[in-house]
C-alpha cells in the first residue's frame, strides 16, 4: 500500500505535466476525430476563403519573404493568397537556375573555408528608411558558416555575401538600424578567438576563460547598399540568440538575448539552464560607432571573404579582407549594459513606440516587459547589480514595466499590431496569445498547428505595423496537408488580426523551415522590379551582342564558345573541334529584350547544372567531355512555340584528333531577295 502511495507521489508531477499536455492537445484538437473537425471549424473564420481570395489575374497586397532555414534560400510568398512567387537562392547552390554552378556566381559562395555551397538561413530583414521598410534590399544571415547576404529587390537576386570573422553560428543577425546605418550580426556560439581571424586549439574545459563572442557592425552604403565590416565588439563568452533594435526614443540602441551565461561548454541543455536569469544585452550602437571612429578600436589580423555581384557583368568577384577592428566593452563606458532576463530567453522584440522591450523566456512562466525610459533612468542612477567583464548589470526591478502573467507555455517571439497589442507565440502550448501592452493582460488566444516558432506582422518590427494580417510559422505540420511520407512541408498560417478576436484564414506550406519572415506592401517593391537587363549595358567580357559576332577559340586545352540564344535558336548550333578532356566554356548571351524570356542551356552528361540566362545577360557553363561522340545541348526554359526546336550539337573527337574548330547556325546558301532571317 505504502509503495503504491509512493508511486503515486512520484508520479504526481508527471501527471500534472501530462494533464498540461492534454490541455495543450485539446487546444491543438488532435483528440477525438469528431471534436477535431469541430475545433478546426471553430478556429477558422467563416469568411476565410473570401478573406484570402485573390482572383486570377489580380495581385496580392503584400510580398512576404520567408527564410528557408536549412535550404539556405528565401521564399517569396504573396499575401493574403499564400502563393509562392519565387525562391531566391542565397547560400545554396540552386540547380534550377545555375546559381553557384555557373562560372559567374560560384564566387558568391566562397569563404575562408573554401567553397561552402550551403548554409542555414534564419532571418530576413528588410532595409529601412526612417524606421520603415523601404523595399530596396533584404538582408539575411547564414548561421552555420557566418555570413550576411544582401538581396536586391529590383531583381530578387543575391548581390552580396560577406563572411563574418570571429563569429561562430551567426544567429542574432542581421539587424538593420532604422536608416541602415549598420546591419548588426552577433555570434550564437562563443569561441576561443586567436586574435588572428581564427580560433585557438584549446581544451574545451577552458571555455570559461578563453571563449568570447562578437557583435559585428556592418556599414551599408546608403545609395547602393554595399556592405563593409566597420568594426566588432568582443563580448563575454555567452551564447547570443536574437537581436532587435529600438525606434523613436530607443533609436540608438540594439538588444541581444543571451543564454549560457553559465559559460558551460558541454550538454548545454542542462549546463546552460542553471542560472535563474540570463541577460538581455543592450548596446548603444551610435556610441559604439563613435568610440570606433574616435580611435578606441584596435586592429587585429583577420581572414574573411567579401563577395559581390557586379551589376553590368552579372559576375561575382571575391575579395579577401585581412584585418578587422574591434572594441572591448570594458574600454567603452556607457556602450553596453546587461539586463537580467528570464532563463534562456529567445526573442527580443521592441514595440512600435520604442518604449517597451519584450523578452521571451522560453522556459519562463511569465513574459517580462522592460521599459526603455526606466532603463535610461536606471543607467543614470547607476542602479547596478554587479558587472560582468566590466559591463554593468542593471537591476531587474529597476527596468521592468511588468510581467504578463501565465501567457502560455514556451513563449518564443512577439510582434505588434500598432494598436497597443502584442502577439506572442507559445511553442509548447502551440498557440498565439494576444495581450495588451498597456495593462499586460491576455486578450485572446488562438491555437496554431503545431509548435509555432516566429510570427510576423507585416511591418511588425517597424514604427507602423500593417496590422491586418499575422503569419505564424509552424515547425510541425502533422495533419495539415495530404501526407507525403515522413517528411512534411512546414506550414505558415495566416491570421486576420484586424478585429478584437484573431481569425485563422489560411494554411500554406512553406519551403524547408521558415524561421523569421518580413512582409511589405507590394506598391513599394513591384514598380521597381526589373523586367530584363539591357543588352547595351551588359559588360560581361565574353558577351556577344550580335549573332554575327559569335566565336569559338581554343587556348591550350580550353575551348571558349561565345554564343547567343534568342527565340528559337542558338548561334552557333553546330559545334565541332572539341576534344575529349577539353574544358569547354559556353559563354551564352541571351539576346532577348523582353520580360519573362530567359533561355536555359544544358549539355548532355555535364557534371554540372543547367544555367538559366536572363534576357540581356551572359552566363557561363563549364563542361569537360569525357568521351567522344555527339552531345546535344538545348534550351531548358519553354520560350516559344518552337522552344522544342531550340537545340544544337557538339561533336567531341578523341584527344589529339585533327578535326578543325568549326561552328555554324544554318547552312550557307544564297538568300533569295524576297526573304531574310532575323539575324
- Segment holding 41, helix H or strand E: helix 33-43
Q: Give CA–CA dist 529/155, Å, rounded.
A: 6
**677 is a site residue for other proteins (CB under 8 A):** yes
> Least CB distance from residue 538 to other proteins, whole Å?
13
**593 is a site residue for other proteins (CB under 8 A):** yes
**641 is a site residue for other proteins (CB under 8 A):** yes
Q: Give CA–CA dist 213/198, Å, rounded.
A: 13
> Least CB distance from residue 224 to other proteins, whole Å?
24
Exactly one of 272, 504, 566, 588 binds other proteins (CB under 8 A); that residue is 566
**Binders of other proteins: how many residues, by CB under 8 A?**
20
Select from 159-167, 320-328, 481-489, 585-593 the region that touches other proteins (CB under 8 A): 585-593
**595 is a site residue for other proteins (CB under 8 A):** yes
**1 is a site residue for other proteins (CB under 8 A):** no
Cell reading at 242: 536574437
The closest of 507, 17, 598 to 314, measured between CA atoms, is 598
Q: Give CA–CA dist 345/339, Å, rounded.
A: 12
Residues 6+ apart with CB under 8 A from 256: 172, 186, 215, 240, 241, 242, 243, 280, 281, 283, 348
> Least CB distance from residue 613 to other proteins, whole Å?
16
Nearer to other proteins, 330 or 594 (CB): 594
User: Going residue by residue from 509 to 548, which x/- string records binding to other proteins, judged by CB under 8 A?
Assistant: -----------------------x-xx-------------
**567 is a site residue for other proteins (CB under 8 A):** yes
Nearer to other proteins, 551 or 593 (CB): 593
Site for other proteins in 141-180 (CB under 8 A): none
CA distances from 546 to 172, 535, 536, 588, 678 (A): 49, 10, 11, 12, 11
CA distances from 508 to 127, 374, 464 (A): 26, 42, 26
Q: Is 670 exposed, middle or buried (0-12, 13-18, 19+ CB in 10 A)?
A: exposed
Nearer to other proteins, 481 or 595 (CB): 595
Q: What is the 3-state secondary structure (H, E, C) of 123-180?
A: EEEEEEECCEEEEEEEEEEECCCCEEEEEECCCCEEEEEEECCCCCCCCEEEEECCCC
**640 is a site residue for other proteins (CB under 8 A):** yes
> Least CB distance from residue 400 to other proteins, whole Å?
57
**665 is a site residue for other proteins (CB under 8 A):** no
238 three-state secondary structure: coil
Q: Give CA–CA dist 174/164, Å, rounded.
A: 11
**273 is a site residue for other proteins (CB under 8 A):** no
In the block, residue with C-alpha cell 522556459: 363
Exactly one of 513, 592, 610, 637 binds other proteins (CB under 8 A); that residue is 592
> Least CB distance from residue 269 to other proteins, whole Å?
56
Q: What is the 3-state secondary structure (H, E, C) of 582-613?
A: CEEEEEEEECCCCCCCCEEEEECCCCCCCEEE
> Least CB distance from residue 626 to other proteins, whole Å?
35
**203 is a site residue for other proteins (CB under 8 A):** no
Site for other proteins in 459-478 (CB under 8 A): none
User: Going residue by residue from 334 to 373, which x/- string records binding to other proteins, judged by CB under 8 A?
Assistant: ----------------------------------------
Q: Give CA–CA dist 590/543, Å, rounded.
A: 9
Instruction: State the pairing for strand pair 574-579/647-653.
Output: parallel
Select from 207-215, 445-453, 548-556, 586-594 the region that touches other proteins (CB under 8 A): 586-594
**678 is a site residue for other proteins (CB under 8 A):** yes
Contact 116, 109 (CB under 8 A): yes
> Least CB distance from residue 432 to other proteins, whole Å?
40
The closest of 130, 133, 149 to 141, measured between CA atoms, is 149
Select from 271-279, 337-345, 541-549, 670-678 the region that touches other proteins (CB under 8 A): 670-678
**86 is a site residue for other proteins (CB under 8 A):** no
Q: Is 513 exposed, middle or buried (0-12, 13-18, 19+ CB in 10 A)?
A: buried
Nearer to other proteins, 5 or 676 (CB): 676
Phi, psi of 516 (to 5 degrees): -105, 170
Nearer to other proteins, 57 or 386 (CB): 57
Contact 88, 95 (CB under 8 A): no
> Least CB distance from residue 615 to other proteins, whole Å?
9
Nearer to other proteins, 546 or 627 (CB): 546
Q: Give CA–CA dist 3/52, Å, rounded.
A: 59
Nearer to other proteins, 556 or 673 (CB): 673
> Least CB distance from residue 84 to other proteins, whole Å?
21
> Least CB distance from residue 546 to other proteins, whole Å?
11
Nearer to other proteins, 290 or 534 (CB): 534
Exactly one of 266, 642, 644, 654 binds other proteins (CB under 8 A); that residue is 642
**594 is a site residue for other proteins (CB under 8 A):** yes
Q: Give CA–CA dist 414/125, Å, rounded.
A: 16
> Least CB distance from residue 532 to other proteins, whole Å?
8
Q: Give CA–CA dist 614/639, Å, rounded.
A: 12
Nearer to other proteins, 209 or 596 (CB): 596
Give the residues lining the site for other proteins (CB under 8 A).
532, 534-535, 566-567, 591-595, 640-642, 645, 672, 674-678
Amino acid at each position: 500500500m505504502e509503495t503504491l502511495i509512493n508511486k503515486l507521489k512520484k508520479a504526481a508531477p508527471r501527471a500534472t505535466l501530462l494533464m498540461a499536455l492534454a490541455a495543450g492537445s485539446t487546444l491543438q484538437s488532435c483528440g477525438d476525430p469528431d471534436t477535431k473537425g469541430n475545433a478546426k471549424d471553430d478556429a477558422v473564420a467563416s469568411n476565410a476563403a473570401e478573406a484570402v481570395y485573390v482572383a486570377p489575374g489580380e495581385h496580392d497586397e503584400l510580398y512576404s519573404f520567408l527564410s528557408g532555414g536549412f535550404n539556405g534560400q528565401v521564399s517569396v510568398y504573396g499575401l493574403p493568397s499564400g502563393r509562392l512567387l519565387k525562391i531566391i537562392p542565397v547560400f545554396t547552390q540552386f540547380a534550377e537556375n545555375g546559381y553557384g554552378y555557373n562560372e559567374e556566381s560560384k564566387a558568391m559562395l566562397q569563404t575562408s573555408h573554401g567553397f561552402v555551397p550551403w548554409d542555414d538561413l534564419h532571418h530576413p530583414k528588410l532595409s529601412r528608411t526612417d524606421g520603415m521598410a523601404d523595399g530596396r534590399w533584404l538582408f539575411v544571415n547564414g548561421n552555420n558558416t557566418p555570413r550576411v547576404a544582401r538581396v536586391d529587390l529590383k531583381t530578387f537576386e543575391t548581390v552580396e555575401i560577406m563572411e563574418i570573422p570571429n563569429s561562430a553560428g551567426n544567429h542574432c543577425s542581421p539587424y538593420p538600424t532604422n536608416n541602415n546605418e549598420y546591419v548588426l550580426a552577433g555570434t550564437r556560439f562563443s569561441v576561443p578567438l586567436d586574435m588572428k581571424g581564427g580560433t585557438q586549439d584549446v581544451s574545451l574545459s577552458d571555455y570559461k576563460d578563453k571563449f568570447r563572442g562578437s557583435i559585428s557592425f556592418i556599414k551599408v552604403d546608403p545609395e547602393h547598399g554595399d556592405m563593409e565590416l566597420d568594426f566588432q565588439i568582443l563580448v563575454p563568452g555567452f551564447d547570443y540568440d536574437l537581436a532587435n533594435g529600438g525606434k523613436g526614443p530607443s533609436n540608438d540602441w540594439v538588444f541581444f538575448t543571451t543564454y549560457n551565461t553559465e559559460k558551460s561548454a558541454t550538454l548545454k541543455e542542462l549546463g546552460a539552464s542553471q542560472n535563474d536569469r540570463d541577460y538581455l544585452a543592450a548596446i548603444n550602437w551610435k556610441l559604439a560607432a563613435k568610440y570606433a571612429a574616435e580611435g578606441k578600436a584596435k586592429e587585429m589580423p583577420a581572414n574573411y571573404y567579401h563577395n559581390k555581384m557586379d551589376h553590368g557583368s552579372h559576375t561575382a568577384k571575391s575579395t579577401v579582407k585581412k584585418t578587422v577592428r574591434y572594441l572591448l566593452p570594458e574600454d567603452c563606458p556607457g556602450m553596453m549594459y546587461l539586463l537580467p532576463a528570464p532563463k534562456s530567453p529567445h526573442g527580443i522584440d521592441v514595440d512600435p513606440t520604442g518604449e517597451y522591450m519584450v523578452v521571451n523566456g522560453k522556459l519562463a512562466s511569465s513574459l517580462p516587459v522592460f521599459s526603455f525610459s526606466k532603463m535610461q533612468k536606471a543607467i543614470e542612477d547607476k542602479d547596478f547589480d554587479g558587472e560582468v567583464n566590466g559591463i554593468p548589470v542593471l537591476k531587474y526591478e529597476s527596468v521592468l514595466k511588468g510581467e504578463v502573467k501565465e501567457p502560455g507555455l514556451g513563449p518564443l517571439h512577439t510582434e505588434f499590431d500598432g494598436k497597443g497589442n502584442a502577439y506572442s507565440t507559445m511553442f509548447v502550448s502551440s498557440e498565439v496569445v494576444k495581450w495588451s501592452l498597456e495593462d499586460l493582460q491576455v486578450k485572446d488566444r488562438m491555437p496554431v498547428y503545431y509548435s509555432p516558432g516566429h510570427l510576423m506582422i507585416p511591418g511588425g518590427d517597424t514604427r507602423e505595423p500593417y496590422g491586418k494580417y499575422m503569419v505564424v510559422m509552424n515547425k510541425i505540420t502533422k495533419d495539415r496537408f495530404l501526407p507525403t511520407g515522413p517528411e512534411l512541408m512546414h506550414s505558415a498560417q495566416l491570421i486576420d488580426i484586424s478585429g478584437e478576436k484573431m481569425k485563422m484564414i489560411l494554411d500554406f506550406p512553406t519551403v524547408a523551415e521558415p524561421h523569421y519572415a518580413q512582409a511589405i506592401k507590394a506598391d513599394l517593391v513591384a514598380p521597381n522590379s526589373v523586367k530584363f537587363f539591357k543588352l547595351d549595358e551588359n559588360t560581361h567580357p565574353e558577351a556577344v551582342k550580335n549573332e554575327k559576332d559569335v566565336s569559338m577559340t581554343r587556348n591550350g586545352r580550353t575551348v571558349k564558345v561565345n554564343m547567343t540564344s534568342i527565340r528559337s535558336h542558338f548561334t552557333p548550333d553546330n559545334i565541332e573541334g572539341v576534344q575529349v578532356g577539353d574544358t569547354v566554356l559556353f559563354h551564352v548571351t541571351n539576346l532577348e529584350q523582353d520580360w519573362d524570356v530567359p533561355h536555359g542551356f544544358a549539355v548532355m552528361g555535364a557534371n554540372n547544372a543547367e544555367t538559366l540566362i536572363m534576357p540581356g545577360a551572359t552566363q557561363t557553363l563549364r563542361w569537360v567531355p569525357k568521351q567522344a561522340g555527339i552531345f546535344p545541348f538545348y534550351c531548358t526554359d519553354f520560350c516559344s512555340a518552337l522552344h522544342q526546336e531550340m537545340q544544337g550539337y557538339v561533336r567531341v573527337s578523341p584527344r589529339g584528333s585533327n578535326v578543325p574548330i568549326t561552328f555554324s547556325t544554318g547552312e550557307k546558301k544564297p538568300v533569295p531577295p524576297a526573304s531574310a532571317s532575323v539575324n
